[in-house]
């Protein structure tokens, strides 16, 4: 209970700071509250908000879990190897997902060009996003939950929080966010399990690869998405499609190694059966 109360105090502190940041933005940039709620703001305001939120988040994580926060930055050879392994597995997973969608003509490659500035921007921002989210959701929330709950319960709770906090905008309908939330929930389960069984930097590497590849394909406008099969592919966010969700579940069971033989074969069989049915339709 004591560890759970730490998480609650953390979120109370963070919410109060977000309110202060919102008030600061309202007066500094002469905005109204609806602009913030609906995300109808300029890039300058958005970047200011994200910078202040990022600094607030890091300060809170340091304050509420100083020892754990410092420990993850004690880099050694083993942690570098874990990071590379996570990066490799995450990249192979998304390449497999994109390949399935390309072969079934759910998406098509529009064009490909080498933009060094864009690549550097995506790499840096993706790493910071992955690092920050792993510090918050795995190294703080999940870790504290495991001190007073069993592994499964801790994975479920932290993964739900992880998925839900990505969609706090009031202008998004339930239909638009339900599949992304389900996809992110299972992503959170995988990251939590990797953090628990492997290392913090393993989950960072895995997370980094997914954010980086999805961000680059989106910002480079790499694919032509077949809108007819958007439910199946997830468009530019493949984890949100039915194929991505099912492959994520398969990856989770590969990591956990429970019911691997039977359950995974069933999921794979149903995955390709689903593709065939929707394409014929």
pLDDT tops 70 at residue 258 = no
Cα 133 to Cα 130, 161, 203, distances in angstroms = 5, 12, 10
DSSP conformation class of 229? G
* Across 32-44, average pLDDT: 72
Which of 35-49, 75-89, 96-110, 216-230 is predicted least confidently?
35-49
What's the N-to-C CA distance of the chain in angstroms?
52
Q: Which residue has the higher pLDDT, 38 or 19?
A: 19
What's residue 88's pLDDT? Answer: 94
| Interatomic CA distance for residues 170 and 259, integer angstroms | 39
Predicted pLDDT at 175: 64
Least confident residue range of 38-42, 212-216, 247-251: 38-42
Q: What pTM does this model have? A: 0.85
Residues 170-199 pLDDT 10s: 556 666 788 889 999 999 999 999 999 999
170: Cβ–Cβ under 8 A, 6 or more apart, which residues? Answer: 37, 38
The pLDDT tens digits for 119-165 are 999 999 999 999 999 999 999 999 999 988 899 999 999 999 999 88
161-169 long-range contacts (CB < 8 A, ≥24 apart) are: 161/137, 162/133, 162/137, 162/187, 162/188, 162/191, 163/187, 163/188, 169/37, 169/38, 169/39
CA 111, CA 77: separation in Å to the nearest integer?
38
pLDDT(232) > 90? no
Q: What is the mean pLDDT of the chain?
A: 84
Q: How confident is the model at residue 85 (pLDDT cuts 50, 70, 90)?
A: very high
């Amino acid at each position: 209970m004591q560890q759970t109360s730490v998480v609650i105090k953390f979120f109370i502190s963070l919410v109060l700071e977000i309110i202060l940041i919102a008030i600061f933005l309202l007066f500094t940039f002469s905005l109204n509250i609806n602009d913030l709620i609906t995300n109808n703001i300029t890039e300058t305001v958005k970047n200011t908000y994200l910078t202040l939120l990022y600094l607030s988040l890091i300060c809170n994580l340091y304050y509420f879990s100083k020892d754990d926060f410092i420990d993850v930055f004690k880099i050694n050879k083993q942690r570098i190897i874990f990071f590379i392994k996570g990066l490799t597995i995450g990249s192979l997973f998304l390449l497999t997902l994109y390949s399935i969608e390309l072969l079934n003509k759910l998406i098509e490659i529009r064009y490909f060009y080498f933009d060094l500035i864009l690549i550097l921007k995506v790499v840096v921002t993706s790493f910071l996003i992955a690092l920050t989210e792993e510090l918050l959701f795995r190294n703080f929330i999940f870790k504290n939950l495991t001190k007073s709950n069993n592994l499964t319960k801790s994975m479920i709770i932290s993964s739900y929080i992880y998925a839900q906090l990505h969609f706090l905008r009031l202008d998004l309908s339930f239909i638009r966010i339900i599949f992304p939330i389900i996809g992110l929930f299972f992503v959170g389960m995988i990251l939590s399990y990797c953090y628990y069984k492997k290392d913090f930097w393993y989950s960072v590497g895995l997370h980094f690869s997914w954010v980086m590849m999805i961000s680059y394909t989106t910002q480079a406008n790499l694919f032509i998405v077949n809108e007819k099969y958007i439910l199946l592919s997830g468009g530019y966010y493949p984890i949100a499609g039915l194929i991505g969700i099912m492959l994520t579940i398969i990856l989770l069971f590969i990591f956990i190694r429970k019911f691997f033989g039977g359950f995974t074969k069933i999921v794979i069989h149903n995955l390709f059966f689903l593709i065939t049915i929707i394409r014929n339709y």
